[in-house]
Structure 1
Amino acid sequence: MKMSGIKMKNILTEKLKSPERTFEYNKEKETLRITNTKTGKGITISLPGIIAGWEQKAEKAVEEVVYYVNEGLAVMGESHILEGNEKKILPVIRSTSFPNESKEGVPFLFDEHTAETRIYYALDLGKTYRLIDQELIQKEGWEIDRIKEIAGFNLRSLSTQLKEDRVAGNIFYFLNTNDGYDASRILNTAWLSRMKEQINGTMAAAVPHQDVLIIADIQNQTGYDVLAQMAMSFFANGHVPITALSFLYENGELEPIFILGRNRPAEEEKK
């Protein structure tokens, strides 16, 4: 059965329905917003990414989204504080198209990162997290620099254990702990520098969605093509997509690159 945006909207609405929730479907943007009528807060989900996941994992993909929405709405009604929760403050990577403020119009705390990405800051709540906004900062009187410093320190304490795969003479390293901050590791500049030292070819990276970071040791043109295909595949299937583009890592800087895929014979690669 071919899945459409309308069909997926109907499936999710049925599974998530509650007397305390309203649903708003945007046909043009292919999004569904679920709002808790008691708190006035809600979650907007992009349907194309869910449909892509459904085509691969069927009902499991839908159940994952339902779980994510239920957990997210549950914590939105709670009161959150920074004081005493310093170890739970972390940076998160988002695309530049991600909103700069909450649905209620409260600006988020964020920094520019690359032409494709921004850095937001989050208070970890266990199964989900809350993005730190100006309202939370002002309520507790915290300095913004303090939040950023704590977030950076906590990020550097996260595991950077990698899985390795070799394709056509190129090496690909994957970081995928599913802790919600896999893509955030790309902000660990000291770790990136150490990775650079063990790269024999060109170092590239990708953060297609929040739960994966790819580091590539590119040895030939095929390596660029493979990285581009990986990034697009992950991007299409992630719950929180970031960017399908990859980055070159040179002189401590990340530069977005557009890779035009080509199918070249193996014999040509060896020349």
Structure 2
Amino acid sequence: MELREFRKEIENKLQRDGWIFSYNHKEATLRIEDVTIKKGVTVSLKPLLAKWERNEFDSIDEVIRYVEVGLQSMKQQVILKGNEKKIFPVIRATSFPTETKEGQKLIYEVHTAETRVYYALDLGESYTLIDESLLADSDFTAAKLKEIALFNVRSLPQPLKEDVVAGNTFYFLRAKDGYDASRILDQSLLEKMASRIKGQLAVAIPHQDVLIFADIVNDSGYDVLAQVALQFFGQGRVPVTALPFLYENGELEPTFILAQRKPKN
């Protein structure tokens, strides 16, 4: 299916009174906006089309649900005070906007050369990013917001699935709660993974819904990690970065890996 046909399929399924569409040809993104609240949701179509082409036919239903829940949540009254346990950090690429469509500046800080940390209020099936106006209404400082968010992300479960390829061990964290990549901000988790590996610890956050740890013990491990990170990057609803990180001395350093070959096994 061509991208244009795929977009039309989604638009047809999202026809609602009061919803309008705008398409960005350069970015291949579709924005669906509710004219009554003048807010909307932007969907990246290429990753969804890739899922469709892999016969993951629920990709269209997934985006329909995502848009419906997102626009519905925007109609809710959003208050930080009293909802401290629902505040979490979210990881985004440095290309991610720094303000809302309405011109409100989002609260964020630099994480690495590839990533930023934004903050979100969880609304159940979705979340809203916290901007300066929302922060001002709460009487929180940006420092307090960060403290609350990092405390909450440390309380999340850390389910890991393990896979061994060419002697290298890969750990995949996918809790499906929207904050998988955010767990990279849990320093105690990074230290725990560093203590259990035999070689070089590498970390990848190709999109918001996965966190990958790799125990690299040979050159093939770097090749596998590069290929896995790139594959996941193309599949994610909210891509972050295809560049993995090396973790050394408590620091994350983005690293470019030029994969030379695909491992035989």
TM-score per shorter chain, which class?
A: over 0.9
Moved more, 137-146 or 37-46: 137-146
Give the aligned partner of residue 181 of structure 1: 179
User: Percent identity among equivalent residues?
Assistant: 53
Question: Which secondary structure state, in structure 1, belongs to the residue aligned with residue 202 of structure 2?
Answer: strand
Give the aligned partner of residue 85 of structure 1: 83
Shift of 1:232: 1.0
| Paired residue type of 1:107 | K
- Find out whether 1:150 has 2:148 as its counterpart: yes
Question: Which secondary structure state, in structure 2, belongs to the residue aligned with residue 177 of structure 1?
Answer: coil
Give the aligned partner of residue 269 of structure 1: none
Shift of 1:26: 1.5
Aligned-partner Cα distance in 2 for 1:257–1:265: 20
- Find out whether 1:101 has 2:85 as its counterpart: no
Shift of 1:70: 0.6
Give the aligned partner of residue 198 of structure 2: 200
Shift of 1:230: 0.8
The answer for unaligned runs of 5 or more in structure 1 is: 267-271
| Paired residue type of 2:199 | G
Question: Which secondary structure state, in structure 2, belongs to the residue aligned with residue 59 of structure 1?
Answer: coil
Shift of 1:4: 2.1
Give the aligned partner of residue 16 of structure 2: 18
Deviation string for 1:107-136 (max 9, x for gaps)? Answer: 110010011110000000010001010010
Aligned-partner Cα distance in 1 for 2:106–2:55: 33
Give the aligned partner of residue 38 of structure 2: 40
Aligned-partner Cα distance in 2 for 1:57–1:108: 37
Shift of 1:141: 2.1
Aligned-partner Cα distance in 1 for 2:166–2:56: 32
Aligned-partner Cα distance in 1 for 2:185–2:217: 24
- List aligned pairs for 1:237-252, cutoff 5 A: 237-252=235-250
Which of residues 232, 251, 256 in structure 1 aligns to 2:230?
232
Shift of 1:264: 7.0
Structure 1's consecutive aligned runs of 4 or more residues displaced over 3 angstroms after TM superposition are none
Shift of 1:196: 0.4
Shift of 1:265: 7.6
Aligned-partner Cα distance in 2 for 1:223–1:233: 15
- Find out whether 1:137 has 2:135 as its counterpart: yes
| Paired residue type of 1:186 | I
Q: Confirm or deny: 8 A CA contact 2:174 2:209 kept in the other structure.
A: yes
Q: Confirm or deny: 8 A CA contact 2:88 2:153 kept in the other structure.
A: yes
CA root-mean-square deviation: 1.2
Give the aligned partner of residue 164 of structure 1: 162
Aligned-partner Cα distance in 1 for 2:87–2:55: 32
Return the TM-score normalized by structure 2. 0.97
Shift of 1:245: 0.9
Shift of 1:237: 0.8
| Paired residue type of 1:192 | L
CA 1:179/1:262 → structure 2, altered by over 3 Å: closer, same or farther?
same
Return the TM-score normalized by structure 1. 0.95
CA 1:102/1:62 → structure 2, altered by over 3 Å: closer, same or farther?
same
Question: Which secondary structure state, in structure 1, belongs to the residue aligned with residue 171 of structure 2?
Answer: strand
CA 1:236/1:265 → structure 2, altered by over 3 Å: closer, same or farther?
closer
